[in-house]
């Protein structure tokens, strides 16, 4: 109920504020009009006196032309002719210098026989030279007040004109809008020349107070009627006109104007109060329902996040033993097996790969549920995406005697901008399902514009992908919920074909994220047609990245027999498998159980390369890496490869930022791991070669690893960023590239400062930071050059060669950043 009360109070406050502002505006309007009225009346008064002065100047000319001073009758007759010109002038007369009347227009009318002293407020002037001088109020022969003005003739006589105050008062009253308004005309001595209100302050008297105070007085009570005043000084005549208006009358007028509005507001407020209780109860019900819905939403979000985190954790925990399963199978394949044993190993490998696919589906679904998947916008060639997809199923189609065809309509652009990885993921799932449920026949993959005749001109377009098979078909009852999680056509499908029922649910989420939709048409026994649409942009042309950052042909692997590798892995099975796989490839392997043991082993017996699991007891991988980089000498310079079963992008990004040279996820791809080890050892040079150089072999001026690095070929490998794109979204990659750029600028400055100062420790530390980040970004040239910039340890560079090596470093950095900018579409800035 307090809300309703607050609403009423707010409405009342707003209404009161409106009234206050309106009253203030009304008072401002009245004040302005009062001042304007005073100005208008002042102008009229000045013009009246000016006209009187002109009339008196004419009379002066007549006076100076007379023949006798004593011809009063002649003077009166001449003056009488002039009176009818201006009704404000009631008499004209000629006085002696002492103020005695010689003659007048009225012949004993309004002008007195003798002027009272002192008669004039200012010195007298000749006729026609300025306005006539206003004098003190005089009384005529009947005691009525007169306003007089005079000129002094050259003979010394006075030419006097009389203005009737009643005439001016009547004129003032004709322009007053309000009865309570008062006009007062004062001379410079405070004498009342004219006043529209009859009270104790009479014409001819002196006002003992301000005009505003006099007008506010009623029957002797001061300030009984407060006034608004407008003043118009007439300085050249020595007069001051004041117009005052009653504030009480103004307030009454304002209230009369607001009566209807106030009545309407009071009626509306009454209706609000009467109906407020029912409305308030309804509002309470709505608020209560809203709170319940919000709490339910929060509980659902918490449950969803908990489920997603649980699925991700379970996926992580299952990937670790899967490494052992798949690794053991790889070891068995490399052993001498009988035909029966080889067949059993093949069955186990098939089952392990199927289980891995299930884990990947669960992880993808959990990432989508957690909102961790973002859609990228990169340029790609559509034909490449389709070829990569169909190549995956070529062998299975041949085994099942299935003809797999691909058709791209001619009006579909060759180069597009979108997320090829997600499109490939959806196509892989749909084509995989088609192959799974088709026993012989044909599967067709077709791409066309969604709307016939939709010719792209650079704006967004919609592509329609369809996968048609001749398989078993799907019933109409099942089709309606087939894209829901954990749903399959029927219970027998899971038993016969396997799967989790997550694939199509993942496809639907991905397609929706790309601005499209997905559906199917099918019938039992007539095959199925799955289709989906995506919203893409037409690329301006073949991206420069296709040629500018093309990866160089891989060099033949360099054997590293005898290279010492330190492996830190807490899982005993995985330690055994890694040792066996690497030993068979000619490496000398030392294994430890946690990060602390790895640091101590590297401190006491420096190895050529270190493999660290990121999650270990006692000390985890990132912490162990930081301690290794803080070691002295060659122990700190070796490459470090990270192993992780984590598949969440944010966790992988943390590991990359920790400074590892490469990262591999579990289950381990042994061929890829072997290629990584060979590449890193090629870049750094093994400790065997280092020991040989210490026995007397002089280091070359330009190491072999640097030969061939130049601006045209800075040693950038785009495959590293492609691998990151499989586990990180576009925004995370762009942030990683930005961080890489900042690291190069910051650490590059430290590198030069340390080189100029001859500080070997700072130089080594900066080089380690650069090479770790560069190797992970595929900037192999930067990592290689940074690894050779050292003043101590194995193969130190001479101070004479240091400037040239730093110049080479700058060149390779600049060229590599240009390549990365082109590839990631970030721009040179």
Report the distance separating Cα 620 and Cα 157, nearest Å.
123
Q: Which of 725, 597, 734, 596 is nearest to 652 (CA)?
A: 725
CB 474 within 8 A of CB 482: yes
pLDDT digits (tens, 9 = 90+) for 155-202: 888 889 889 899 899 999 888 888 889 999 999 888 999 999 888 888
Quote the pLDDT of residue 90. Answer: 86
User: Is the overall model pTM greater than 0.85, yes or no?
Assistant: no
Beta bridge partner(s), residue 609: 565
Backbone angles phi, psi at 536, to 5 degrees: -130, 165
> What pLDDT sits at residue 590?
94
Indicate the DSSP class of residue 336.
-
* 760, β-bridge pairs: none
* Listed residue (237, 196, 232, 189) closest to 214, CA to CA: 196
Listed residue (382, 396, 521) closest to 456, CA to CA: 382
Q: Which residue is listed with tokens 């006109």?
A: 241
Q: From 59, 144, 74, select the one nearest 107 (Cα to Cα).
A: 74
Across the strands, what pairs with 240?
186, 233
Which helix (H) or strand (E) element contains residue 48?
Answer: helix 2-64
User: What tokens were used for 511?
Assistant: 């397609």
What are the tokens at 9? Answer: 């109070």
Q: Measure the CA–CA gap between 502 and 364, rounded to whole angstroms.
A: 9
Phi, psi of 141 (to 5 degrees): -70, -15
Q: Residue 383 CB: number of other CB atoms within 10 A? A: 14
Q: DSSP H helical segments within 658-729, as ranges?
A: 670-684, 687-694, 719-725
Q: How far apart are CA 648 and CA 366, in angstroms?
A: 10
Q: Which pair of structure tokens corresponds to residue 468?
A: 């048609």
Peptide bond into 667 cis (omega under 30): yes
Query: Rounded CA gap, 584 and 673, in Å?
Result: 13
> What pLDDT does 311 receive?
62
Return d(Cα 800, Cα 784) in angstroms, integer. 20
Q: What are residue 609's phi and psi, to 5 degrees?
A: -155, 145
Rounded CA separation 268/276 (Å): 12
Give dist(CA 684, CA 374) in Å, integer: 36
Taken in order 757, 791, 632, 652, the sign of the CA dihedral is positive
Contacts of 794 (CB under 8 A, 6+ apart): 634, 637, 685, 687, 690, 691, 693, 694
C-alpha distances in Å from residue 818, one per residue of 367, 545, 552, 712, 815: 33, 11, 16, 11, 5
**How far is it, in rounded angstroms, from Cα 645 to Cα 647?**
6
Task: Map 430-483 to HEC letters.
Answer: HHHHHHHCCCCEEEEEEEEECCCCCCCCCCEEEEEEEEEECCCCCCHHHHCCCC
Handedness of CA 152, 153, 158, 163 (dihedral sign): negative
In angstroms, rounded to a whole number, what is the distance separating the alpha carbons of residues 361 and 501?
Answer: 9
Rounded Cα gap, residues 103 and 94, in angstroms = 5
Distances (CA, A) of 495 to 189, 253, 320, 499, 663: 120, 93, 27, 9, 37
Report the alpha-carbon distance of residue 607 to residue 630 in Å, rounded. Answer: 15
| CA-based max dimension of the chain | 167
Strand residue runs (E) in 555-686: 564-568, 588-592, 609-613, 640-644, 662-665
Residues of the chain falling short of pLDDT 50 = 68-70, 452-453, 456, 491-495, 543-558, 686-701, 826-829
pLDDT at 361: 66
CA atoms within 13 A on the CB side of 66: 21
With contact defined as beta carbons under 8 Å apart, do 150 and 96 qualify? no
For residues 353 and 142, give the distance between their C-alpha atoms in angstroms, rounded to a whole number. Answer: 133
Residue 558: helix, strand or coil by DSSP?
coil
């Amino acid at each position: 109920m307090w809300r309703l009360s607050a609403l009423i109070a707010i409405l009342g406050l707003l209404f009161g504020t409106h009234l206050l502002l309106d009253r203030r505006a009304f008072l401002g309007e009245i004040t302005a009009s009062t001042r304007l009225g005073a100005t208008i009346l002042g102008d009229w008064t000045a013009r009246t006196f000016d006209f009187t002065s002109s009339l008196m100047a004419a009379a002066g000319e007549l006076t100076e032309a007379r023949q006798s001073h004593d011809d009063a009758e002649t003077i009166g007759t001449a003056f009488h002719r002039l009176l009818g010109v201006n009704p404000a002038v009631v008499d004209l007369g000629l006085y002696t210098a002492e103020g005695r009347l010689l003659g007048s227009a009225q012949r004993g009318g309004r002008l007195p026989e003798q002027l009272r002293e002192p008669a004039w407020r200012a010195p007298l002037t000749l006729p026609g030279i300025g306005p006539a001088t206003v004098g003190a109020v005089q009384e005529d022969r009947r005691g009525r007040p007169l306003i007089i003005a005079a000129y002094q003739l050259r003979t010394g006589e006075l030419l006097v004109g009389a203005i009737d105050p009643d005439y001016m008062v009547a004129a003032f009253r004709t322009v007053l809008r309000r009865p309570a308004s008062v006009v007062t005309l004062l001379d410079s001595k405070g004498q009342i020349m004219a006043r529209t209100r009859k009270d104790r302050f009479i014409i001819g008297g002196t006002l003992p107070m301000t005009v505003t105070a006099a007008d506010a007085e009623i029957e002797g009570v001061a300030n009984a009627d407060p006034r608004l005043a407008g003043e118009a000084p007439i300085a050249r005549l020595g007069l001051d006109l004041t117009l005052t208006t009653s504030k009480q009358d103004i307030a009454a007028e304002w209230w009369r104007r607001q009566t209807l509005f106030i009545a309407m507001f009071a009626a509306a407020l009454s209706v609000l109060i009467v109906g407020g209780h029912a409305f308030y109860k309804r509002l309470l019900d709505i608020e209560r329902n809203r709170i319940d819905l919000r709490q339910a939403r929060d509980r659902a979000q918490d449950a969803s996040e908990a489920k997603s985190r649980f699925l991700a954790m379970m996926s992580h925990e299952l990937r670790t033993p899967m490494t052992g399963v798949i690794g053991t199978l790889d070891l068995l394949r490399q052993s001498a097996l009988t035909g029966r044993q080889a067949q059993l190993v093949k069955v186990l490998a098939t089952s392990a790969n199927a289980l891995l696919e299930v884990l990947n589906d669960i992880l993808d679904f959990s990432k989508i549920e957690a909102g961790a998947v973002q859609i990228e916008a990169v340029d790609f060639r559509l034909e490449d995406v389709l070829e990569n997809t169909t190549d995956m199923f070529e062998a299975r189609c041949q085994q099942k005697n299935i003809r797999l065809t691909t058709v791209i309509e001619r009006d579909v652009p060759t180069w597009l901008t979108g997320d090829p990885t997600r499109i490939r993921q959806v196509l892989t799932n749909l084509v995989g399902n088609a192959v799974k449920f088709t026993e012989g026949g044909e599967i067709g993959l077709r791409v066309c514009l969604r709307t016939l005749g939709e010719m792209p001109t650079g704006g967004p377009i919609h592509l329609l992908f369809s996968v048609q098979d001749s398989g078993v078909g799907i019933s109409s009852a099942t089709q309606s919920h087939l894209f829901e999680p954990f749903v399959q056509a029927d219970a027998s499908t899971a038993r016969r074909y396997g799967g989790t029922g997550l694939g199509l649910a993942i496809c639907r989420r991905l397609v929706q994220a790309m601005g499209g939709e997905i559906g199917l048409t099918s019938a039992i026994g007539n095959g199925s047609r799955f289709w989906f649409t995506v919203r893409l942009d037409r690329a301006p042309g073949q991206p420069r990245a296709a040629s500018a950052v093309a990866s160089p042909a891989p060099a033949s692997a360099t054997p590293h027999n005898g290279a010492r590798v330190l492996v830190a892995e807490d899982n005993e099975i995985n330690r055994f498998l890694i040792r066996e796989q690497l030993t068979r490839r000619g490496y000398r392997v030392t294994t430890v159980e946690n990060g602390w043991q790895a640091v101590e082993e590297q401190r006491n017996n420096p190895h050529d390369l270190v493999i660290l699991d990121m999650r270990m007891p006692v000390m985890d991988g990132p912490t162990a890496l930081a301690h290794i980089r803080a070691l002295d000498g060659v122990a700190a310079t070796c490459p470090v490869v990270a192993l992780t079963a984590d598949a969440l992008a944010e966790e992988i990004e943390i590991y990359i930022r920790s400074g590892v040279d490469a990262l591999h996820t579990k289950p381990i791809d042994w061929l890829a791991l072997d290629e990584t080890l060979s590449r890193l050892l090629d870049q750094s040079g093994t400790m065997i070669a280092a020991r040989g150089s210490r026995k007397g072999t002089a280091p070359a001026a330009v190491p072999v690893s640097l030969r061939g690095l130049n601006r045209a070929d800075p040693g950038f490998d785009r495959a590293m960023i492609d691998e990151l794109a499989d586990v990180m979204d576009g925004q995370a990659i762009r942030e990683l590239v930005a961080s890489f750029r900042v690291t190069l600028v910051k650490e590059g400055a430290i590198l030069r400062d340390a080189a100029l100062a001859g500080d070997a420790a700072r130089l080594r530390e900066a080089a380690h930071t650069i090479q770790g980040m560069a190797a992970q970004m595929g900037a192999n040239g930067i990592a290689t050059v940074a690894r050779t910039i050292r003043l101590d340890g194995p193969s130190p560079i001479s101070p004479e060669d240091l400037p040239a090596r730093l110049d080479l470093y700058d060149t390779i950095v600049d060229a590599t950043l240009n390549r990365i900018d082109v590839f990631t579409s970030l721009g040179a800035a």
